[in-house]
Amino acid sequence: MKYTMEGVAADGTKLAYGFTVKYDGTDFPITGSMPGGADSVAIKKIDANHYEATFKKAGKVIGTSKAEISMDGKFTTITSEGTNEGGQPTNNVAVYDKQ
């Protein structure tokens, strides 16, 4: 899977990062500047509707995400926990609606 993100952070800083992974739990490099400074990601497929990702910086885990795709495929919920670049804890829940 190839993932690319471009956007703007709350403070106006531009964000642009991406990665290409296999769903096998292996670490893959992240290109660009990801929030929190992660430089690698490993994603594991739990079942057809659930995935888990681990984000690392210099080999140290700095965050995790769990993705759940609704049974009808119309919604994806991503729950993330980790630390930001200042070392503060972060928690985020995002719900995406398929258009």
Half-sphere exposure of 31 (CA within 13 A, CB side): 8
pLDDT at position 6 is: 92
Choice among 11-15, 39-43, 49-53, 77-81 with the minimum mean pLDDT: 11-15
Number of independent structural domains in the chain: 1
pLDDT classification of 14: cutoffs 50, 70, 90: confident
Task: For residue 84, give both structure tokens.
Answer: 């930001």
Domain coverage including residue 47:
2-97
CA 22 to chain CA mean position, Å: 14
Percentage of the chain beyond pLDDT 70 is 100
